[in-house]
Amino acid sequence: MTHFLRDILRQPKELQRTIEFLLGSGAGALEAAKKVLPYYEAYFNQPYPLPKLDQIFVPGESDSMENWGAIKDEEQYLVDPSNDSWEDQSNAFQSLVHEIAHQWFGNLVTMAWWDNLWLNESFATWMQKKATDHFHPEWKIWIKALAEKESAMDQDAVPASRSIQVRRHHCGPFNPACCWSDIGLLRSF
């Protein structure tokens, strides 16, 4: 990243284009957060307790992570609604609102230990789908979720699959099938 910035700073026109891209793309993420925070506050009847929520997009990062008051996300989720496909916009929106949901499921309400990580992820994923459907019904997210659930159920059906609750002595790899197996259950309530 340091070499990238040094090279960009040597080329003023390229720097200007980079800044314009980041400002335009960042606007989509900012707008999503401005919409979903009040939606979650109303849904949970619990205000977001911090004075701000930072969004940090990291070049070359391959995962997203909620932190108390800060969302770290992949640079690829900086999308421009006027140029990027609806699928890219949907993926970016869902990633962001999933991590924001963790401000409630994972930060305000925290599991006692990593054994119940599936519950934390299931609730955040369920709220991600719920918020996406609320703000973008045209994306038909629940139909796409059915295919994702079927894939998880297929993974879960093999004899080598792991149980939902796993005794952990440390934070280890997460089984996404656990999350998708329970979204249908959560949605039925």
| DSSP strands (E only) in the chain | 54-58, 65-67, 70-74
The answer to whether residues 13 and 75 touch, using CB atoms and an 8 Å cutoff, is no
Q: Please list, in sequence order, all residues whose beta carbon lies within 8 angstroms of the beta carbon of residue 33, skipping any fewer than 6 positions away.
A: 53, 55, 71, 96, 100
99 flagged as catalytic:
yes
How many residues does the structure list for the chain?
A: 189
Beta strands in 33-159 (DSSP E): 54-58, 65-67, 70-74
Q: Which pair of structure tokens corresponds to residue 129?
A: 């789908």
CB atoms within 10 A of CB 24: 15
Task: Report d(CA 176, CA 90) in Å as an integer.
Answer: 19
d(CA 83, CA 103) in angstroms, rounded, equals 30
Candidates 20, 61, 66, 99; catalytic one: 99
Catalytic annotation, residues:
99
